[in-house]
């Protein structure tokens, strides 16, 4: 299924999504990553805006400040794995409904998504030129001292395609793909050894 969703999201918006669905977003999304989330979770500083219902994008943009305004240069998405430590807290305590990232998150985040109603949306990593055009404007920037890892508020239009890779029903595409690969691992290695042994004999 393909969904076009308006942000901020409600619980029913995300509960209807299943892994493999495609999503496009319109509205506001909030950019943050390592340093931003360290400040919120490790330092215990509440974010300067209410995150309830918001979509979090794992990003640190190329941007420049002209007068009081921030201009986008290139905005793309980083690997989410480093944010595994913080995501369950952002879901439980601050009520975010979706994370947009690449490479996926782990068990604790998946559990929080199931319990509280949130999803992980996989973007195509590295496709930042496209992403930059889908971001209409940088609306607000908080915590500029953390540049480029500030807390960014973007207005987006047709932001996607995003694949629902972890849903609120306990499914995780990455986990499924990796466990299938692990099942094939020894067979792949044995075949390689058989194919190559004669080649490398001296």
Partner 1 sequence: MYDLIQKVSGELYIKALKNVPSDVLAAIKSAYENEGSENGKMVLRTILENIDVARQHDMLVCQDTGTPVYCVMVGEDVDLNFGKLYKAISKGVSEVTKKYNLRPNMVDPLTRVSRGDNVGNRVPIVHVEYDERLISSIRIVCVPKGSGSENQSFLRMLSPAEGLRGVVSFIIESVITGINKACPPVIVGVGIGGTFDECAWLAKKAATMRRIDVHHPDPKIRVLEEKLLKSINETGIGPMGLGGRITALAVNVEVADTHISQLPVAVNTQCWKGQRAEAIISDGFEVRYIL
Catalog residues that contact partner 1 under the rule CB under 8 A.
Answer: 20, 22, 35, 59-64, 73-79, 81, 102-104, 122, 124-133, 148, 161, 163, 165, 173-174, 176-178, 180-182, 184-185, 188-189, 191-193, 195-197, 199-200
CA distance 132 to 116: 30
In the complex with partner 1, the residue whose CB is nearer, 8 or 30, is: 30
| Collapsed DSSP state (helix, strand, coil) of residue 88 | helix
Report residue 184 CA to chain centroid gap: 28
CB of 57 to partner 1, least distance (A): 11
Beta bridge partners of 101: 122
CB of 36 to partner 1, least distance (A): 12
Backbone φ/ψ region at 186: left (φ over 0), alpha (ψ -120 to 50), beta? alpha
CB of 32 to partner 1, least distance (A): 14
In the complex with partner 1, the residue whose CB is nearer, 54 or 72, is: 72
CA distance 51 to 73: 25
In the complex with partner 1, the residue whose CB is nearer, 49 or 196, is: 196
Q: How many CB atoms lie within 10 A of CB 201?
A: 6
In the complex with partner 1, the residue whose CB is nearer, 20 or 48, is: 20
């Amino acid at each position: 299924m393909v969904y076009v969703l308006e942000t901020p999201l409600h619980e029913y918006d995300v509960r209807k999504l299943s892994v493999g669905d495609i999503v496009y977003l319109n509205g506001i999304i909030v950019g943050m990553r390592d340093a931003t989330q360290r400040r919120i979770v490790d330092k215990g500083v509440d974010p300067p805006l209410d995150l309830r219902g918001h979509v979090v994008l794992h990003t640190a943009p190329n941007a420049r400040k002209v007068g009081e305004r921030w201009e986008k240069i290139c905005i793309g998405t980083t690997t989410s794995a480093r944010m595994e430590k913080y995501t369950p807290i952002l879901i439980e305590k601050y009520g975010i409904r979706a994370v947009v990232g690449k490479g996926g998150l782990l068990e604790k985040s998946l559990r929080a998504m199931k319990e509280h109603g949130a999803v992980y949306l996989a973007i195509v990593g590295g496709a930042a030129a496209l992403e930059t055009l889908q971001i209409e404007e940088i609306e607000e920037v908080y915590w500029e001292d953390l540049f480029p890892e500030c807390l960014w508020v973007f207005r987006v239009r047709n932001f996607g395609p995003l694949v629902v890779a972890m849903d609120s029903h306990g499914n995780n595409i990455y986990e499924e793909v990796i466990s299938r690969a692990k099942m094939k691992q020894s067979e792949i290695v044995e075949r390689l050894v058989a194919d190559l042994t004669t080649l490398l004999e001296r």
